Structure 1
Amino acid sequence: MMLSSRRLGRLSLASLAVLAACSTPPPPPPTPPPPVVPTIRPMPPANAVEGMSIPTQGADGKYLTANRGVTSNTALWHLRMGLNVAALNCDKYGPTARNQYNQLLAVHKAALNGANAAVDRNYSVAYGSSGMASRERLNTVVYNFFALPPVIKSFCPVAVTVGAKMIAMPSDQLLEAAPALLAELEKPFQEFYAAYADYLRRLAEWQSRFGATVTVVVSPTPLPPPPIPPGEAPPKGWTPSYKSALEATPPPPSDGGVAPAVAPAASVSGPPAATRTLPDNSQPKLIVQPLPTTSE
């Protein structure tokens, strides 16, 4: 059966309309939202606790510890205490620190006894009858300082290095080298305090940007500066063996003549060797304060 030309025209127009509809591209998908950037809250260094108090900084930028401003004898004694802590707390990294400490006590027994006697004398002169109690209080501060749990991991290898230097050194050089060695032994703690101060700074910045609904203590109260050990006191009964500048200078002649020649003053000599007046305590029994253990 033949279709009329009018009907064929209608079919052609409908086909064109269908084809046109099929060729129209679909609308573009909606623009995705920007990716969510996680805001990671800063964490304390070395697995330290949050809100930990650290010492304040001195004018030289160093954090104030019980090792500041000490005499050579006190520095040597603080070294001995620091290495004692290493001997007790560094076994997980091997027996070297403990073995070194025992060797140190044997090799430098006389020098350590002399430093201990000098520190005893310093406290007795400075504080009288309460001198030994003051010394024991500071000893506790020093022991706890060197046993700070977050620093043990970085402290132990430094203690081994310092211990090796001391064992290899002649005893008569220990006092001169003690202040520099003490600063070396303390370096991991100074670095930890600096890292913790930086953590507090980053935590405060994070809090201001992302933590409006979270309460965070970002400025713990700094630790009070520990007392400075007393200065060096001369041995009991020691007097200078030279004249003062006033005594050594002759008075001017009263008649205007030339002053008589004066014999040269006696050469200056140092104090005699210190003699111990307290009972022997070549291996002082200083109590190490118990501290919580932390996981590495």
Structure 2
Amino acid sequence: MFVSRRLAGRISLVSLAVLAACSTPPPPPPPTPPPVVVPTVRPVPPDNAAEGMAIPTKDEEGKYLTANRGVTSNTALWHVRMALNVAALNCDKYGATARNQYNQILSVHGPILKTANSAVERNYKVAYGNAAIGSRERLNTVVYNFFALPPVIKHFCPVAVTVGAKLLSTPSSQLLLMAPQWLAELEKPFQEFYAAYEDYLRRLAEWQSRFGATVTVIVSPTPLPPPPKPPGEAPPPGWQPSYSSALEATAPPPGDTAGAAPSSSATVQPLPGATGMSVPSTATVQPLPPSASDAPVGPPAPSSPTPDDGAPRLEVQPIPPQGD
């Protein structure tokens, strides 16, 4: 009897434990993890350029406006010389080739470079008169700064060495012909940099609109103003037109009356078969009053160049050679 009671008691305790276990609620599920944060990389300027940098506007052909646009052959050759001068001064970290080439160019092509410099100087005198020197120096500063743009130097130096080698292997008589092409080659790395920077500004604007920003970003900096434009080619000293007007150019030689216009004393002959009107054969032709169309239309006379005022000339100085 005693054993049965103990067994019943144990069964009751087990039953209570089972019932207690069934009544305990299950533990809550673990919290949902936060969504994975995808890092967004803010665009940076190409070639470690500065943020908010102004770039030139484009012309009708989609190219960025520079001081090398619309230049004459003499000006193109002089700008090529300035570009190679910048390379000789700034490309030493890539070797001494650019510097050595520049000094060789001055030695091999010195006369044609001096001739081109004189032609450019004459162009400025004809275009700007007494302000010629200041105008040219302003443009020279713009050209030097253009080719010395720090983010582009590493791309510009190999091109400058390539163009320098072409220039050394070309006869002096062909430099003016090739100068515009070489100038375009030297400018290409800068055109590509401006295009990359414009693309960076576009991507920066897209990033800012999608993800926001806690800092103020200048997405569209004010573009650079158009650079000064070099003057056109002036006529050489002492040039005079071969004729003063188009009428004189087409007039027959003296003594040749064939095809000549009737003089004021010529008589009018009656038209054959004309009726109803009578024109006396002794009537004279009255000269017509002059009209605006009779104004001379030939080439204009050249402007008188400004007298030499003793101002200093821009001379080409060789760069001292340095070791590698």
> For this structure pair, what is the TM-score category when the shorter chain's length is used for normalisation?
0.7 to 0.9
Give the 5 Å matches for 1:24-43.
26-43=27-44
Question: What does 1:4-43 align with in structure 2 at a 5 Å threshold?
Answer: 4=5, 6-14=8-16, 16-17=18-19, 26-43=27-44
Cα distance in 2 between the residues matched to 1:94 and 1:71: 32
Aligned partner of 2:273 in structure 1 is none
Is the partner of 2:3 in helix, strand or coil? coil
TM-aligned CA distance change 1:182 to 1:61, over 3 Å: same
Task: Measure how far apart 1:103 and its partner are.
Answer: 0.9
- Tell me what 2:207 maps to: 206
Structure 1 equivalent of residue 58 of structure 2: 57
Amino acid at match of 2:161: V
Q: In the aligned structure 2, how far is the partner of 1:20 from the partner of 1:104?
A: 99
Task: Tell me the distance in 2 between the aligned counterparts of 1:216 and 1:149.
Answer: 22
C-alpha RMSD of matched pairs (Å) = 3.0
Give the structure-1-normalised TM-score: 0.79
Q: Which residue of 1 aligns with 2:259?
A: 252
Counterparts in 2 of 1:27 and 1:177: CA distance versus 1, 3 Å: same
Q: Tell me how far apart the structure 1 counterparts of residues 112 and 314 of structure 2 sit (CA, whole Å).
A: 10
Alpha-carbon separation, structure 2, partners of 1:218 and 1:64: 20
- How much does 1:20 deviate? 5.7
Residue 316 of structure 2 is aligned to residue 284 of structure 1: yes
CA distance in 2, matches of 1:106, 1:64: 33
Which residue number corresponds to residue 170 of structure 2?
A: 169
Q: For residues 243 and 129 of structure 1, do their structure 2 counterparts lie closer, same or farther at Cα, with a shift above 3 Å needed?
A: closer
Q: Which amino acid aligns with 2:9?
A: R
* Cα separation, partners in 2 of 1:249 and 1:13, compared to 1, 3 Å: farther
Q: Secondary structure at the match of 1:226?
A: coil
Shift of 1:245: 6.3
Deviation of 1:79 after TM superposition, in Å, equals 0.3
Q: In the TM superposition, what is the alpha-carbon distance from 1:177 to its structure 2 partner? A: 1.1
The letter of the residue matching 1:252 is: G
State the shift of 1:61 in Å. Answer: 1.0
Q: CA deviation at 1:39?
A: 3.2
Amino acid at match of 1:49: A
| Counterpart Cα distance in 1 of 2:63 and 2:219 | 21
- Report the Cα distance in structure 1 between the residues aligned to 2:317 and 2:56, rounded to whole angstroms: 28
Q: CA deviation at 1:229?
A: 0.4
> How many residues of Structure 1 are paired with residues of Structure 2 in the alignment?
264
Q: How far apart, in 2, do the equivalents of 1:217 and 1:254 lie?
A: 72
Once residues 182 and 139 of structure 1 are traced to their aligned partners in structure 2, the CA distance between those partners, rounded to angstroms, is 15
Alignment of 1:187-226 (within 5 A): 187-226=188-227
Alignment of 1:8-157 (within 5 A): 8-14=10-16, 16-17=18-19, 26-157=27-158
Q: Taking every aligned residue pair, what percent have the same amino acid on both sides?
A: 68
Give the partner amino acid of 1:195: A
With normalisation by structure 2, the TM-score equals: 0.72
Partner amino acid, structure 1, of 2:66: T
Question: Residues of 2 paired with 1:115 and 1:100: CA distance?
Answer: 19
Measured at CA, do residues 25 and 107 of structure 1 come closer, stay the same or move farther in structure 2, by a change above 3 Å? farther
Distance change (3 Å), C-alpha of 1:25 and 1:173: farther
Deviation at 1:173, TM superposition (A): 1.4
- Kindly provide the CA deviation profile for residues 241-270 of structure 1, in whole angstroms up to 9, marking residues without a partner as x: 689865246473669xxxxxxxxxxxxxxx
Match of 1:294 in 2: none
- Aligned with 2:54: secondary structure? coil
Q: Distance in 2 between matches of 1:282 and 1:53?
A: 30
For the 8 Å contact 1:97–1:160, the answer to whether it is kept is yes
Give 1:37 shift.
2.5
Counterpart for residue 269 of structure 1: none
- Give the residue type in structure 1 aligned to 2:63: K
150-159 vs 71-80, which moves further:
150-159
User: What residue is the counterpart of 2:301 in the other structure?
Assistant: none
Question: Which of 1 and 2 has greater Rg?
Answer: 2
